[in-house]
Structure 1
Amino acid sequence: MAQKGFLDIIKKQYGDGNYDGDQFGGAGGHDGTGLPNGNAGNFMFATGIECSYPTIKKGTVRRDQLRECGHYDRWREDLALVKDMGLRVLRYGLPYYAIHQGPGKFDWSFADEVMNEIKRLEIIPILDLMHFGVPDWIGNFQNPELPIHFADYAGAVAKRYPWVRYYTPVNEVYVTARISAKDGVWNEQLKTDKAFVTALKHLVAASIMGNQQIAKYRNDCVIVQSESAEYIHEVCATPSEETMLANESRFLALDLLYANPPSATMCMYLLDNGMTRKEYDWFMTGEPPGYQIMGNDYYGRNERIKLPDGSIHHSMDVLGWYQMTRQYYERYHKPVMHTETNVFEAEDAPMWLWKQWINVLQMRKDGVPVLGFTWYSLIDQIDWDSQLGQVNNRVNACGLYDLDRKPRPVAQAYRDLLKEFGQITIVPYGEMLEMTDRPARLKVVV
């Protein structure tokens, strides 16, 4: 009689598969599918509500996207849409320019209503405190008092909403300084290197001091520093000094924020354009408090090609989010979040969403900790094709929903993505890193 093998013995004793405990491991464990459930170690899928509010026309016109896109009238509906999408995380910006009415003076009437509803719906806000503009009484980013006034505001917000843990103190510092003080589109509308450096140092200092005040009330704060990933590809045998300077200066905001010494060229550029040695040393003292996440915003229009004739053209996906973000990650070695993306053509948006997600998956497979992904924004935007510089009232069809709050095709694509990947952990086997007492569930390395 042939001797029975171990498998025959196991099958006789325990049956042919579906063993006790399989649901907690590789044979029958959960594969990471299902809508996000808010577990601490899970990947953060998010959207955002566009909240830019710069001034144009020499400060006489305020471009408030919350107003122009109907959010002030339909904020309950908008928050309900976030919940209905199955999303748990929302990049949300309160209107700083309207709330902070003077030193120590705040109008919380709108903020309190919205924040109470966000809390009731159990949405996790990444609270955006300054988004391309400041109150009229502060003026613009050339004002050296900006850091202390913004710190006052950031501390007041953190004190008033102690349940909020995630913050973006100043959204896209580099873009804010460049478009306001180098490109001359917003706010101070200047076009000089000195104005750019002045705006940059005031904005980074504001972010740092605001971060300090947040940590005073939430010493476990998580700071998602959203910054635009930019690059100019110059198709010339000898790239111009202007292009080389632009490609180096894109790192300046994060260099100063994270106390990462810039290149010698950039140090001379800063000092030549108004930064003092004492100010530089202050920035290099150390990183802000809290847990720091490097958020990278990527739109295809972030990459530009400069041809030999000097003309500049947008260029979708020459490097893409993966290669662009990899440059930033290797410079700063911070956990990463894909904090903004969209396209203006509604019919192209679903495939753009999937392309961005494939970039995220590849980054994770290569060992970079990517904590979250954001389709920005929930609702269509107005006039972003002109960077808000012209009042054309042109709808940019980049939202999950249009301005009538009807879903665009990308909304269904995002639902499909969430259904497939909504419960993956931040890093493979990340549930172990939580040291949670919940039963093990995930098995798929995505």
Structure 2
Amino acid sequence: MGAQHRGPRWYEDGALHFGLGIEDTFVPQSRPGERAIDEYALTDHYTRYGEDLGLAAGAGATFLRWGVPWYRVNPEPGRYDWTWVDRVVDRFGELGLRPVIDLLHYGTPLWLDGQFAHPDYGRHVADYAVAFAERYGDRVTDYTPVNEPMIHALFCGVYGYWPPYLTGDDGLTTMVRALGEGFVRTQRGIADVLGEATFMHVDASMRYAGDVHGEHRERAERLTHQAHLVEDLVTGRVDDQHPLTAVLRAHGMDDATLAWFAENAVRPDVMGVNYYPRISTEVFEEGVHHGGGFADPRPAQDAGVAGLVEVLLEAERRHGVPVMLTETAVTAPVADRVAWLHESVAAIRTLRSVGHQVVGYTWWPVFDMYEWTYRHGTADREEYLLTMGLYDLVEDGTGGLDRRRTPVADTYRALATDDRANGRLAEGRRAA
């Protein structure tokens, strides 16, 4: 299911499609020392959604990766409030901007005890996803069932950083099984409703450098395989030969569960890769042992365009479908952002020129966002600002946030417009 359609899709017209995203992390649970985080609330997107979508369209984007705040639209089991989402979807239509919907970008509703570890999580998330598709399927046909499922699994199931605060291989196995089941049920449920939906699977790039052939070899190999684990599971690739099957079995995943995933496998129509040049490559240091994660992070290496090319080609090789850069940026001054925009687009153009199916480029986000450490901090939001957007967020002195255009937006628009024109010319030549 997925990648089984008739006729060309919108991303198969020969152009390089330029998109944007709005950061949409939602972890609404709180406890002493940890406050809820909702990026839409932090960035004033709930009140300024019309302007924000207009900024994306005005910058030259043809699609926008946009997430639904599940915990808000589904405040009680079986009850939905789509009032705000109705207005947003209408705004997409007014602008002619294609929505690519993030159905799960971290976090579960407050009523779901145990969060992802709830025994019925998979059915609950699929019910919500299907309810969305039933309501908006006449206008929304592109879906990401779970954004960055392996980041979910690590933060919630290995590091104990987000609910349900699980750790180790027991936590990893619990999270991978739950996320995978919800992923499969979501995609199959939407496909049953819409038939011709497009599914864009998206996960984070996790690269490892440094001492990966010496004392850290086994750990680096394990993490390299682990980076693809949820996607391998939902696409039916976790069998007796998979490098991590023994780990999953040793920590509670039985043969019946593995057989269910194999029998119900889903496939991406597009494989999305999230790559941040300064943080996506972790370095193993000889003689130094880091646990990884927020508590004990390994140092990061700026792998630049070489890393970007590697992860895109690996995604294309593994999945055999068109690939898309679904998130990239640098958290840096404007000049550095502009430089990375030029470098990364040039790298993708080069890949396309020699026949690789890289169909889209997504700068993330449209405007700045706030660091996830806000959840564990006590300071005001401005202390956690990450300057990585086309537009800077600027406190207006009255508690609100202005969106201030930067040269990054001008550069993005110039590149997007140029590629659209080139795509139209190529299409015209083929037609002639």
Q: CA deviation at 1:442?
A: 6.9
Q: Rg larger in 1 or in 2?
A: 1
Q: CA deviation at 1:212?
A: 1.3
What's the counterpart of residue 6 of structure 2? none
The change in CA–CA distance for 1:390 and 1:325 in structure 2 (over 3 A counts) is farther
- Contact 1:92 1:125 survives alignment (8 Å): yes
Per-residue CA shift, 1:145-179, capped at 9, x if unaligned?
Answer: 11101111111101100221101111111111111
Q: Which amino acid aligns with 2:181?
A: A
- Contact 2:200 2:271 survives alignment (8 Å): yes
Q: CA deviation at 1:58?
A: 4.5
Question: Is 1:209 aligned with 2:185?
Answer: yes
In the alignment, which of 143, 152, 167 is matched to residue 143 of structure 2?
Answer: 167
Per-residue CA shift, 1:374-400, capped at 9, x if unaligned?
Answer: 00101100114x485545521100111
State the distance in 2 between where 1:355 and 1:157 align.
37
What's the counterpart of residue 7 of structure 2? none
What's the counterpart of residue 225 of structure 1? 201
- Contact 1:208 1:288 survives alignment (8 Å): yes
Q: CA deviation at 1:238?
A: 3.4
What's the counterpart of residue 120 of structure 1? 94
Comparing 99-108 with 57-66, greater Cα deviation is found at 57-66
The change in CA–CA distance for 1:56 and 1:120 in structure 2 (over 3 A counts) is same
What's the counterpart of residue 252 of structure 1? 229
What's the counterpart of residue 94 of structure 1? 68
3-state DSSP of counterpart to 1:223: strand
Question: Is 1:367 aligned with 2:355?
Answer: yes
3-state DSSP of counterpart to 2:103: strand
3-state DSSP of counterpart to 1:101: coil
Question: Is 1:316 aligned with 2:302?
Answer: yes
In the alignment, which of 389, 405, 408 is matched to residue 407 of structure 1?
Answer: 405
In the alignment, which of 367, 372, 375 is matched to residue 379 of structure 1?
Answer: 367
State the distance in 2 between where 1:135 and 1:91 align.
21
State the distance in 2 between where 1:90 and 1:225 align.
15
State the distance in 2 between where 1:391 and 1:216 align.
45
The change in CA–CA distance for 1:424 and 1:271 in structure 2 (over 3 A counts) is farther
What's the counterpart of residue 339 of structure 2? 351
Q: CA deviation at 1:47?
A: 0.3
Q: Which amino acid aligns with 1:230?
A: M
3-state DSSP of counterpart to 1:164: coil
What's the counterpart of residue 398 of structure 1? 388
- Contact 1:51 1:93 survives alignment (8 Å): yes
What's the counterpart of residue 314 of structure 2? 327
What's the counterpart of residue 220 of structure 2? 243
Per-residue CA shift, 1:204-225, capped at 9, x if unaligned?
Answer: 1111111112112211111111
What's the counterpart of residue 5 of structure 2? none
Comparing 107-116 with 389-398, greater Cα deviation is found at 389-398
The change in CA–CA distance for 1:285 and 1:57 in structure 2 (over 3 A counts) is same
- Contact 1:329 1:336 survives alignment (8 Å): yes
- Contact 2:184 2:266 survives alignment (8 Å): yes
Per-residue CA shift, 1:333-361, capped at 9, x if unaligned?
Answer: 22101000111103311111122112212
Structure 1's unaligned 5+ residue stretches are 1-37, 432-439
What's the counterpart of residue 36 of structure 2? 62
Q: CA deviation at 1:121?
A: 1.5
Comparing 370-379 with 388-397, greater Cα deviation is found at 388-397
Q: CA deviation at 1:84?
A: 1.3
TM-score by length of 2: 0.85
What's the counterpart of residue 127 of structure 2? 152
Q: Which amino acid aligns with 1:368?
A: H
3-state DSSP of counterpart to 1:98: helix
Q: CA deviation at 1:55?
A: 4.5
What's the counterpart of residue 398 of structure 2? none
State the distance in 1 between where 2:421 and 2:171 align.
46
What's the counterpart of residue 4 of structure 2? none
Q: CA deviation at 1:57?
A: 5.2
3-state DSSP of counterpart to 1:233: strand
Q: CA deviation at 1:326?
A: 1.6
Per-residue CA shift, 1:178-226, capped at 9, x if unaligned?
Answer: 1111112212122221111111111111111111121122111111111
3-state DSSP of counterpart to 2:339: helix
Please give the root-mean-square deviation of Cα atoms over the aligned residues, in Å: 2.3
- Contact 1:44 1:373 survives alignment (8 Å): yes
What's the counterpart of residue 46 of structure 2? 72
Q: CA deviation at 1:103?
A: 2.8
State the distance in 2 between where 1:330 and 1:215 align.
25
Aligned length: 394
Q: Which amino acid aligns with 2:299?
A: H
- Contact 2:208 2:284 survives alignment (8 Å): yes
- Contact 1:322 1:362 survives alignment (8 Å): no
State the distance in 2 between where 1:55 and 1:194 align.
24
What's the counterpart of residue 22 of structure 2? 49
Q: CA deviation at 1:86?
A: 2.1
Q: CA deviation at 1:63?
A: 0.6
Q: CA deviation at 1:97?
A: 1.0
TM-score by length of 1: 0.83
Structure 2's unaligned 5+ residue stretches are 1-9, 291-297, 394-401
Q: Percent identity?
A: 27
State the distance in 1 between where 2:186 and 2:415 align.
35
